[in-house]
Amino acid sequence: MDYIKIAQTSDFIVDQKKKVSYEGNEILLTKIEGRYYAIDNKCTHMGGSLYDGNLDGNTIVCPRHGSAFDVRTGKVVKQGKILFIKVRVPDTRSYLVKVEGTDIFINPSLE
């Protein structure tokens, strides 16, 4: 599948993250050190919105139970907890991103 336009670079003048939708799926788009990254917005643990979490460097922390994901790859960097019990959280999906001029595109194809 071809790349699709999902945002513009001007959307990131202040914020380092933006929630966008594509065919009913919410995607978390981030800008870190001048580069753009995209992952699914839904935490793979219990479906919390990663957009509502804290972005610290290249890590986003789910506000529900503290699972943390690397926004560059979608890989889990910290397992979340329910009370004192750690839960196994799978990685989230990441998307290829490219910028042309002021337009930001993602490739929604699974590879």
Number of Cβ atoms within 10 Å of the Cβ of 97: 19
Evaluate whether 71 touches 28 at the Cβ level (below 8 Å): yes
Class of 4-107 per CATH?
Answer: mainly beta
Q: What is the pLDDT of residue 101?
A: 97
Evaluate whether 63 touches 53 at the Cβ level (below 8 Å): yes
Evaluate whether 34 touches 99 at the Cβ level (below 8 Å): no
Whether 75 has a pLDDT exceeding 90, the answer reads yes
For 86-109, the pLDDT digits (tens) are 667 899 999 999 999 999 999 988
